[in-house]
Amino acid sequence: MKELVIVAGAAGSGLSSAEFIFEELGYITIKNIPTQAWEALTQLEEKEEKSTKTCLICHAFNVFDIISISKKLKHVDVKIILLTCDKESLLKRYALSRRVHPRTTLEKITPEQAIEKDCDDIKQCLDYANLVIDTSAIQVKRLRTLIYQFISGNKSNKITAITFMSFGLKNGVPEGIDTFFDVRQIPNPYWVDKLKELTGEDQEVIDYMNSFPITQKTIDSIIVYLESFFNELQKSDRANYTIGIACSGGQHRSTYVANYLKKYFEKKYTTFVIHRDSPQLNSNEE
């Protein structure tokens, strides 16, 4: 655990929405972990050398102890986001959702008292916060923008997460993709004996495909379309978009093009790549 974001707030202030946002951004999310369990987990994590991005979602009643434990972690970048909300809005949300406030059961108090205690607990932690967001009158789209800007340091609204998925048409079109591009016009390395068993991540295969002008021409035409399309996508409420890249078998051409597009767009967007029909390549994703 090298990067830790603690998101805390009153129940009903938008914690579930924040959890989904951090999942979109590639964080491991942990929700409502007991204080003692968190203390034990951090001791184990301190011994791990692997770098991870972790988001801890916690309710107001144990946030102070969670922050105290987390602040003691060495070599971990700890950021704290507090979600505040006025009491009237919280009461309305609970009335509409008919959910049970966790404190009403744990402490045998009324929802009004539970919300009051939540707000008091959050106030005690305001001095520790790196970012405070009042969710009383904002939509999830705005919350997503504010969190993304804070985490990335990006002042723009380019928050869409794009996944490029390579696949082979012989195995069918994947469910869940939003659109796809067919790159079978690129010469197929499969028919070259020495390249047949390699993939689109091997330099010999890349050099072979790039020896044909149609390869870069195909990629450039996809980029031109996607740049315009992604700009328009920012105006919608879509948080994620999956672009399929298809060839015959999903081994050479589509894997190369998907990797190329991922690297091209990663400076503007949160990007991921998945190779459906060459799953051994997915472990290479950083």
pLDDT of 100 strictly over 90: no
To the question of pTM greater than 0.85 for the whole model, the response is no
Q: Where are the beta strands (DSSP E) in the chain?
A: 3-9, 28-31, 53-59, 77-84, 131-134, 161-168, 179-182, 240-247, 270-275
Strands 53-59, 28-31: pairing kind:
parallel
pLDDT of 51 strictly over 60: yes
H or E element in which residue 70 lies: helix 63-71
pLDDT of 204 strictly over 80: yes
pLDDT of 211 strictly over 70: yes
- Pairwise pLDDT comparison (197 vs 49), residue with the higher score: 197
Q: Which residues have CB under 8 Å from 45's CB, separation 6+?
A: 1, 73
Match 């409420």 to its residue by tokens: 237
Listed range (5-14, 66-75, 181-190, 276-285) with the worst mean pLDDT = 276-285
The pLDDT confidence band at residue 237, using thresholds 50, 70 and 90, is: low
Q: pLDDT, tens digit, for every residue of 3-21? A: 899 999 888 888 888 998 8
pLDDT number for residue 155: 45
pLDDT of 168 strictly over 90: yes
**Mean of all residue pLDDT scores within the chain:** 85
Q: pLDDT, tens digit, for every residue of 110-146? A: 888 888 888 888 888 888 888 888 887 777 777 887 8
